[in-house]
Amino acid sequence: MTSINHVKQWMNMEPITLSNTHTPRDALTLIAKSADKELPIVEKGQMLGVVTLQDCVVHLDEDTDIFSIMKSEFLAVSDDFSLKENRDGAPLYVLHEKTGILEGVIGREEMAAYYERIREREEDAQKTIEWLKLSFDTAYEGVAIVDEKGIVQLFNETYSRYVGVTKEEAIGRSVENVIDNTRLPVVLKTGVPERNQPHRLQGQELVVHRLPIWKNGKVIGAVGMLVYEGITEIQQVLQRMELLHTTGKQTEKQGAEKPVRQGPVHFEDIVGESPVIAKAKKIGRKAAQTKAAVIITGETGVGKEPFAHAIHDMGKRSKGPFVAVNCSAIPENLLESELFGYEKGAFTGTRNDGKPGKIELAHGGTLFLDEIGDMPLTTQAKILRVLQEREVDRVGGTAPIPVDFRLITATNKDLKKQMEADKFREDLYYRLHVMPLHIPPLRERKQDIPLIIADQLPKLSEINETTEKTIDKEILQIMFRYEWPGNVRELLNVLERMFHLCEEDHIRSEDLPDGFNEQKRAPGSLSEWREKKQKQEQKFEQKQIEDVLKEVKGNKSEAAKRLGISRATLYNKLSRFS
Ligand SMILES: Nc1ncnc2c1ncn2[C@@H]1O[C@H](COP(=O)(O)OP(=O)(O)OP(=O)(O)O)[C@@H](O)[C@H]1O
């Protein structure tokens, strides 16, 4: 079998040759036509020697026989010679092994063509390797390959993110030291594949395949594949398939209620595969398995709440309630009764019943205090007491009520700075910072943008009962350039706006909000969000005031007293509401 390196593939089978009829001057003329500095002398097909350019020049004007300047040292090879072995710059003469007949010549031109092909092949091979590497790393599934001794040989990004071990750390190590509870050594021993097996990793049930690699009747290694990141994912696939089967019956189903996805939030529901979000999920999963207080930090709109939910739902208290309180949305004077509740008759007036606070309601479950950085100092002191004593005092209450809950807090403020500015209690700060979890901003994980879009578009179609819409690639390019000050919340808003604005089933860059492209900050992103938040706070305050007014039968002085504000402030607020 001839290979690319074989001399036969490349030799010039009709080389210029010299014979006894040529003079040195003739030889010089012929050498000038060739790319080499010598030519072979051939007689009846047999190669006798070579004449060099230099000798021709020296003997140019002599009327001498060409044989007199012939040299008999030249590089002769047989036709199975490999060009890989050619280390010399001089031409190669391919002679028939038995007859010595000159079959061809490898001169400079032939060598240059050979090197060119080798370079092209290397480039192609390099490209293929790059593609393979990329596909290996971007494969949704985690893939780990071990040799027959169970030593990790290949390890992709997904697996690396999942187990929190870098590729460099994993490769060359025994798989048992890289993947917890791995059964790849068993598969290496038995050679029996294990498909769709549940596997507990980082405290979560996953579905894996373990496949032996056979070669020449021997198991030379094994592949471990992480197929689904959890059972819910399989359920989602089944749901999608069901949806696919029922599309034909859509007309019958029109008007029927759409299933609304409710219930627990799992880490795999938090869309994103960027290394930073994968790391956050890993820390979150770890935190979920402990009882420790978790503090989630990150800019506004990064998704701190889904993380808090996922920690709750993966933890031991998932059967208990998840009670969220947004400390910044509740006016200061109402926050305490909201958190701690109040006892019957706590306020002067006609209110009969007491009311349990959110802390009490979180008993047996999780209390999520969002925007803890906005909590007033007095409330901070009371929260600290609850955490220390594990009991809560209702406003106006006499007997403390024992409470048992897991605490998750979140903030977009720098609590350390708040502490330094005496706006946050040091003792509470340390109490909360047992398991810190930072959620990176969207600009640091732009590779998650397409995934979030892909997740969101079908949901928007479902909610709005329209056909699915596609999105222009150009939008993604623009989105990649954008800084996303409002993070995932802003992305979802922009996407929803475009979804409604687009005229056909394809969202184009024209549908992006005005100026999105030019301005660093999308119009109405952060400011719009702040405005929304203010409105939300105002609504809450209005409802509280209305409730109190109802209870005191419209007596404004009494209401003001209960609310802890002056009558003038109450009037002020009421006029603002109207
Ligand atoms: N990775 C994600 N995949 C899908 N949706 C997400 C993701 N992250 C956040 N979201 C959604 O983005 C919105 C904003 O998230 P969230 O309210 O949790 O932000 P936050 O970090 O708590 O912000 P803030 O500090 O302003 O309260 C929510 O609707 C949330 O469900």
Report the alpha-carbon distance of residue 363 to residue 341 in Å, rounded. 13
Which range scores top for mean pLDDT: 68-72, 237-241, 437-441, 460-464? 437-441
| Cα angle for residues 7, 13, 15 (degrees, 5° grid) | 115
Hey, which of 487, 489, 525, 526 would you mutate to test ligand 1's pocket, going by the most ligand atoms within 8 Å of its Cβ? 489
- pLDDT given for residue 253 in this prediction: 32
- CA 489 – ligand 1 centroid, Å: 6
What pLDDT is attached to residue 423? 92
HEC per residue, 512-543 = CCCCCCCCCCCCCCHHHHHHHHHHHHHHHHHH
DSSP state of 370: E
What per-residue confidence (pLDDT) applies to 435?
Answer: 93
Atom number in ligand 1 closest to CA 272: 1
Segment 417-444 shows an average pLDDT of 94
How confident is the prediction for the chain on average, in pLDDT? 84
Instruction: Assign 237 a pLDDT band (cuts: 50, 70, 90).
Output: low
CATH topology of domain 267-440: Rossmann fold (3.40.50)
The superfamily (CATH) of domain 7-114 is CBS-domain (3.10.580.10)
The pLDDT of 528-553, averaged and rounded, is 76
State yes or no: pLDDT of 221 exceeds 90. Answer: yes
Contact present, 384 and 425 (Cβ < 8 Å): yes
The pLDDT tens digits for 297-331 are: 999 999 999 999 999 999 999 999 999 999 988 87
At residue 250, the pLDDT reads 36
Arithmetic mean of pLDDT, 365-384: 94
CATH topology of domain 443-523: Helicase, Ruva Protein; domain 3 (1.10.8)
Q: Fold match between 443-523 and 528-577? A: no
pLDDT digits (tens, 9 = 90+) for 242-270: 554 444 333 333 333 333 334 678 898 89
Provide, rounded to the nearest whole percent, the portion of the chain with pLDDT above 90. 45
The more confidently predicted of residues 289 and 520 is 289
Whether 525 shows a pLDDT value over 80: the answer reads no
CATH architecture for the domain at 139-232: 2-Layer Sandwich (3.30)
Return the residue whose CA atom lies nearest to atom 15 of ligand 1.
303
The amino acid that residue 133 corresponds to is K
Among protein residues, the one with the nearest Cα to ligand 1's atom 13 is 489
| ipTM of predicted complex | 0.95
Bigger pLDDT: 346 or 52?
Answer: 52
| Rounded mean pLDDT, 380-393 | 93
The predicted pLDDT at position 118 comes to: 93
How many angstroms separate the alpha carbon of residue 491 from the centre of ligand 1? 10
pLDDT of residue 233: 59
Instruction: Supply 72's token pair.
Output: 């008999």
Q: Would you state the pLDDT for residue 246?
A: 46
Atom of ligand 1 nearest to the CA of 308: 18
**Per-residue pLDDT averaged across 206-219, rounded?**
86
Q: What is the pLDDT of residue 49?
A: 93
Q: Taking CB atoms and a 6 Å cutoff, what residues make up the pocket around ligand 1? A: 270-272, 298, 300-306, 370, 410, 412, 452, 488-489, 492
Domain borders along the chain are 7-114, 139-232, 267-440, 443-523, 528-577
Measure Cα distances from 449 to 124, 386, 479, 481, 513 in Å: 32, 40, 8, 11, 17
Looking at the CA of residue 296, tell me the nearest atom of ligand 1. Answer: 21
Nearest C-alpha to atom 16 of ligand 1 is from which residue? 303
Quickly state the pLDDT bin for 350 (edges 50, 70, 90). Answer: very low
Ligand 1 atom 20: residue of nearest CA: 301
Inform me whether the pLDDT recorded for 11 exceeds 60.
yes
Residue 277 reports pLDDT greater than 90: yes
Q: How confident is the model at residue 401 (pLDDT cuts 50, 70, 90)?
A: very high
Nearest to 430 by CA among 375, 491, 484, 387: 387
- Which of 10-24, 222-236, 242-256, 318-332 shows the lowest per-residue confidence on average (mean pLDDT)? 242-256
Q: Which atom of ligand 1 is nearest to the CA of 455?
A: 4
Q: What is the pLDDT of residue 362?
A: 95
Using the 8-state DSSP alphabet, how is residue 134 labeled? Answer: H
pLDDT of residue 369: 96
Lowest mean pLDDT among 123-137, 344-358, 475-489, 543-557: 344-358
Distance 306 CA to ligand 1 centre (A): 6
The beta strands (E) that lie in 78-177 are given as: 92-95, 102-106, 142-147, 152-155
154 pLDDT above the threshold of 80: yes
Ligand 1 centroid, distance to 304 Cα (angstroms) = 6
Q: Whose C-alpha lies nearest to ligand 1, atom 30?
A: 303
Is pLDDT of 203 > 50?
yes
The third-level CATH classification (topology) of the domain covering 528-577 is Arc Repressor Mutant, subunit A (1.10.10)
Give per-residue burial for 73-96: e unless 16+ CB within 10 Å, then b.
ebeebeeebebeebeeebbbbbbe
Identify the pLDDT of residue 188.
92
For the segment 332-349, the average pLDDT, to the nearest whole number, is 76
**pLDDT over 90 at 153, yes or no:** yes
Other C-beta atoms closer than 10 Å to the C-beta of 265 total: 20
Its pTM surpasses 0.90 = no
Q: How far is the CA of 305 from the centre of ligand 1 (A)?
A: 6
